[in-house]
Amino acid sequence: MPTQTQNLTEEESLEVDDLPDLLSETEVGIVDAAPLSEAAQTQQILTSLLDPHASPKKKCQWILDLEGTSFDKSQAGMLEPVLFEFIQSQRNSSDPLDAIAVGSAIRQYVAILDGTELGSIATLLEAEHRTPVSLEIELEIAKMVVRKLTAVPSSSANPFPELADRLMEICRTYLNARLLPRTNYGATALNAILGLTLLAASHLPELFEQLRNLRVVWFKQQIARRTNRLLSEPALQEADKAEWPCGKSLHELAASVTEEAG
């Protein structure tokens, strides 16, 4: 792959030497590049990612490079399976750098998914025979499920039953006073709860019962705050007005945690 700094003029290259900590040499190249070259750059990354002989390490770097680029619809269509395959193949890696790239791939994958395809992410939450899904991956997926359903709410109840099953498994495991204060557990549980609610999942009666029995006031306050914030999001306000199931579920969740959280 060509380096992005090739777009720098000599004068700009000189400035790079005393660049501040805000912008790296590469980033100056991106900013100063012509719009056309950004599209070409995306295409180059995409072509590289499609190379079956590319090493996982190189793929990790290209996935991180993708964060700085925008892509059109056809490029997004080509990227979707590449990102999914990368997440599946690298999600059990013990290398911290792989984990960072997998997190990035999850965010980009869910971002380009059509709302009707969100169920495909459920597979990535399945624990394998010997390896559990890492907490960081669970958090990233649960968070992106919430972000997707906030931007593109579902008009029907329980549209992705398998995804709901996986999120409920997270809630059953992490919703307790010992785990919630620990790093990443609270954030993962919170997003799994909000995800289930936005899905208007069939598990909601069980979830609300579990929340009623939970004696962690700060966490319930947090659920109430986030739920209220979601209800002020434009797409969800529209969904609420149209009486879609997700709107009703959000109100029920808010009521279930507000009673006790005060």
Partner 1 sequence: MPAQRLDQQSISISQFDVAGRDSATLSEFIRHVGLMPEIVASFAPGTLSRLLHMKPPLETEAEPGSVHVVGSVPPTIDETSAISLFYDEHRNEYAAQSASRLLQYAILPSIQPDRATDGTVIRTRFSCAGFVIGAYREAEIDLIDEDEGTLPPVDLETLVRAYPDQESSLRNPKLRERMNLGGDGPWPVVLPGYVLKSLCRRFEEIKAVAYRPTPGDEFFRMTDNSVAAAKTELTLE
Torsion angle, CA of 170/176/179/181, rounded to 10 degrees?
110
Taking the least distance from each CB to partner 1, the nearer of 115 and 161 is 115
Stretch that binds partner 1, among 39-47, 77-85, 101-109, 122-130 (CB under 8 A): 101-109
Q: Are 121 and 165 in contact (CB under 8 A)?
A: no
Characterise 42 by phi-psi region: left (phi > 0), alpha (psi -120 to 50), beta (else).
alpha
Within 104-163, which residues bind partner 1 (CB under 8 A)?
104, 107-108, 110-112, 115, 136, 139-140, 143-144, 147-148, 150-152
39 touching partner 1, by CB under 8 A: no
18 touching partner 1, by CB under 8 A: yes
196 touching partner 1, by CB under 8 A: no
Distance CA 184, CA 190 (A): 10
Residue environment code for 227-255, b if the CB has 16+ CB neighbours within 10 A, otherwise e: beebbeeeebeebbeeebbbbbbbebbbe
Distance CA 80, CA 142 (A): 18
195 touching partner 1, by CB under 8 A: no
Q: Please give the residue ranges that form the binding site for partner 1 (CB under 8 A).
A: 15, 18-24, 26-28, 30-32, 61, 64, 67-68, 96-97, 99-101, 103-104, 107-108, 110-112, 115, 136, 139-140, 143-144, 147-148, 150-152, 181, 183-184, 186-187, 190-191, 217-219, 221-222, 225, 235
